[in-house]
């Protein structure tokens, strides 16, 4: 089927997605389910630490708690976290546009959106590093600091891995590894990046708003 004769509509995207040979289709199915299940198990990992955080939080009368030296701990800086969150959520949007550009065979747009996503991801990590340096807490100093650094650290590590993953995908896409109909790697990368975003929604609520 001459794909290029179709215009870049959603039907064409769908047709390209379906035109692969049966072996690729099965492999894609298998890998997609495997990747989604991996993300599910990752959600459980975050959930357990979130449970621990909420449990410890509810076991003291006031939150933020008083640390072991009797000092009242402050709330987190909401304004800065809002800016940094917007950076991460923005990167989710640019990732979405990158994936859509690829599906519609707009390679130049794809490259631009991918670079934007990677830059925003790095900016978020920079923002988190800045926050780590300015928050008046330590990892081992209190349950508040312990939960905060463990959870945001795990999330930041996921973002870091995600940035490396996206750079790899960007290079691979430009070396012709993926085509208009075979692009499972990009799908997985997009899923992963959105997953990291969703986890941040939960963490943002739990640490800055709650």
Partner 1 sequence: MAIAVPHPPGGHIDTHSDHIHPAPRTFIGKYIFSLDAKVIGVQYMIAGLLFFCISGLLAEVVRIQLMRPEGGFVSNDTYNGVYTLHASGMIWMTIIPLVTGGFGNYVMPLMIGARDVAFPWLNLVSFWIFPPAGLMLFGSFLIGAPDAGWTEYPPVSVQGPPGTSLWCAAIFLIGISSTMTGLNFMVTIMKMRAPGMTFTRMPLFVWAQLATALLNMVATVALSAALAALFMERQFGVPFYDPGRGGSPILWQHMFWFYSHPAVYIMILPAFGFISEILPTFARKPIFGYKMIAFSSIAIALLGFTVWAHHMFTSGMAPWMQLPFMILTMIIAVPTGLKVFGWTATLWGGKIEYHPAMLFALGFIVVFTLGGVTGIFLSSVPVDLHWHGTYAVVAHIHYVLFGGSIFGVFAAVYYWWPKITGRMMSNKLGVLHFWLTFVSFNATFLPMHWLGLMGMPRRVAQYSDTTPLLINQFTIVNQFISISSFVLAASTLVLLYNMAHSLIAGKKAPPNPWNARTLEWQISSPPPYYNFKKIPAVLKNPYEFGEPLPYLGLDPSDKDDHHPSPTDHPTPAHA
> Which position among 15, 17, 38, 115 is part of the footprint of partner 1 (CB under 8 A)?
38
Contact characters 67-106, partner 1, x per CB under 8 A: xx--------------------------------------
**138-157: which residues touch partner 1 (CB under 8 A)?**
139-140, 142-143, 146, 149-150
Cα(15)–Cα(108) distance, integer angstroms: 22
**Per-residue contact flags (x/-) with partner 1 for residues 41 to 70, judged by CB under 8 A:** xx-xx--xx-xx--xx--xx----x-xx--
Residue 33 makes contact with partner 1 by CB under 8 A: yes
Q: Which of 31, 96, 106, 194 binds partner 1 (CB under 8 A)?
A: 31
Within 10 angstroms of residue 48's Cβ, the number of other Cβ atoms is: 10
The secondary structure of residue 4, as a DSSP letter, is G
For 176: left if phi > 0, alpha if psi spans -120 to 50, otherwise beta; the answer is left
Footprint of partner 1 (CB under 8 A): 21-27, 29-31, 33-34, 37-38, 40-42, 44-45, 48-49, 51-52, 55-56, 59-60, 65, 67-68, 139-140, 142-143, 146, 149-150
């Amino acid at each position: 089927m001459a794909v290029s004769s179709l215009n870049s509509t959603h039907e064409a995207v769908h047709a390209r997605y379906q035109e692969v040979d049966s072996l690729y289709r099965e492999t894609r199915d298998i890998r997609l389910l495997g990747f989604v299940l991996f993300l599910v198990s990752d959600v459980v990992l975050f959930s357990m630490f979130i449970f621990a955080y909420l449990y410890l939080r509810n076991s003291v009368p006031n939150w933020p708690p008083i640390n072991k030296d009797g000092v009242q701990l402050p709330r987190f800086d909401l304004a800065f976290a809002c800016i940094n969150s917007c950076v991460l959520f923005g990167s989710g949007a640019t990732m979405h546009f990158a994936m859509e550009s690829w599906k519609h065979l707009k390679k130049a747009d794809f490259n631009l959106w991918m670079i934007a996503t990677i830059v925003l991801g790095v900016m978020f990590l920079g923002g988190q590093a800045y926050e780590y340096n300015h928050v008046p807490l330590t990892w081992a100093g209190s349950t508040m600091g312990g939960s905060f650094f463990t959870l945001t650290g795990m999330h930041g590590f996921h973002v870091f891995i995600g940035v490396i993953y996206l750079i790899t995908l960007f290079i691979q896409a430009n070396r012709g590894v993926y085509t208009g109909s075979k692009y499972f790697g990009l799908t997985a990368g997009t899923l992963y990046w959105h997953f990291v975003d969703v986890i941040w929604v939960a963490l943002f609520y739990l640490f800055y708003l709650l």
